[in-house]
């Protein structure tokens, strides 16, 4: 069954109550047992669990100012055939992106999660914001992708779940397809070895004193300029700068020419090549805050 297009997700787990049910979790039975009963005034959703099934309902209550209010109407969010209950202490149920990621592991439309600190929440259906992250490997894992994922665990700029879409350029693949035997990378920090690229000899611009014969430089405009100034010639050149990448959706990319902070460009954001987590967090918060 395809997931519903309209997302339902509590703003906070404190809006969710969990109740053990001793009756069948069918809409008729749920209404019969809940309407007229009382629940905590802060409750907006009730997760009903019996010995084998789970259902979720949204409730409307009286407003008398008491701690416990009477349920006067309800709406079924999901019935057992649409719902799964999972326990994962590593999931922060308050974080929308973490909930979206967990829900992606299941076919059910509604996923109820008992997560960190025993907190319970759920997510049902809906669309996420797709955030493309342009990065380069090796080294692996892709650093910017990892930092964006970490930033999303911390960000509070949007209540909309965010799906990270890695857009990875693999230098080993680029080098294998290079038109010459000798390939030059800008920086030895990538730790690429010739043994990883059969048929190619690998050099690094930051270690080079004399250029090899007929080289292909795999890098950005800055590295090409450095090569020309050092050796007074122009090599074969493959452009790999992540800043040159674009997406019609939101994106994060990086550039060595940007030294600090971040820069908004064409519906995305650019961070420095050596960005710290705080830079990425600020960039992601600004980008998502502007999209929500």
Q: Among 123, 128, 133, which residue's Cα sits nearest to residue 158?
A: 128
**Percent above pLDDT 70 for the chain:** 95
- Alpha-carbon torsion angle 163, 167, 168, 174, nearest 10: 170
Q: Is the peptide bond before 108 cis (omega within 30 degrees of 0)?
A: no
What tens digit of pLDDT does each residue of 168-202 get?
999 999 999 999 999 999 998 887 888 899 999 99
Chain mean pLDDT for the chain: 92
**pLDDT of the residue at 157:** 46
Q: In this structure, are residues 204 and 185 in contact, taking their beta carbons and an 8 Å threshold?
A: yes
Two structure tokens written together for 241: 């700068």
Task: pLDDT band for 292, please (50, 70, 90 cuts).
Answer: very low
**pLDDT of the residue at 76:** 97
Q: What are the DSSP calls for 151-170, one per residue?
A: HHHH--S-SS-EEEEEEEEE
Q: Is the peptide bond before 138 cis (omega within 30 degrees of 0)?
A: yes
**pLDDT of the residue at 46:** 99
**pLDDT of the residue at 128:** 78
**pLDDT of the residue at 153:** 82
Two structure tokens written together for 209: 């004193």
What tens digit of pLDDT does each residue of 127-172 get?
778 999 999 999 889 999 999 999 988 865 456 788 899 999 999 9
**pLDDT of the residue at 137:** 95
Task: pLDDT band for 28, please (50, 70, 90 cuts).
Answer: very high
In this prediction the pTM is 0.72
> The tokens 């084998």 sit on which residue?
52
């Amino acid at each position: 069954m395809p997931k519903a297009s309209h997302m339902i997700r509590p703003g906070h787990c404190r809006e969710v109550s969990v109740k053990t049910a001793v009756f069948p979790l069918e809409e008729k039975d749920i209404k019969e047992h809940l309407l007229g009963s009382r629940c905590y005034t802060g409750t907006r959703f009730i997760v009903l669990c019996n010995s084998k099934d789970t259902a979720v309902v949204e409730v409307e209550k009286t407003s008398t100012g008491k701690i416990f209010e009477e349920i006067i109407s309800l709406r079924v969010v999901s019935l057992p055939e649409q719902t799964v209950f999972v326990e994962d202490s590593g999931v922060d149920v308050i974080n929308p992106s973490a909930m979206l990621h967990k829900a992606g592991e299941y076919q059910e439309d509604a996923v109820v999660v008992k997560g960190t600190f025993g907190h319970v929440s759920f997510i049902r259906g809906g669309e996420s914001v797709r955030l493309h992250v342009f990065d380069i490997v090796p080294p692996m894992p892709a650093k910017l992708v990892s930092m964006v994922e970490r930033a999303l665990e911390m960000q509070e700029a949007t209540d909309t779940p965010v799906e990270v879409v890695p857009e990875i350029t693999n230098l080993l693949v680029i080098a294998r397809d290079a038109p010459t035997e000798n390939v030059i990378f800008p920086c030895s920090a990538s730790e690429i070895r010739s043994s990883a690229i059969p048929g190619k000899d690998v050099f690094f611009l930051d270690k080079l004193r004399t250029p090899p014969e007929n080289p292909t430089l795999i890098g950005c405009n800055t590295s090409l300029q450095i090569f020309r100034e050092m050796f007074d010639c122009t090599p074969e050149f493959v452009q790999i700068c992540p800043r040159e990448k674009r997406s019609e959706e939101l994106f994060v990319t990086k550039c060595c020419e940007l030294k600090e902070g971040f820069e908004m460009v064409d519906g995305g954001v650019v961070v420095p090549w050596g960005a710290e987590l705080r830079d990425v967090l600020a960039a992601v918060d600004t980008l998502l805050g502007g999209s929500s």
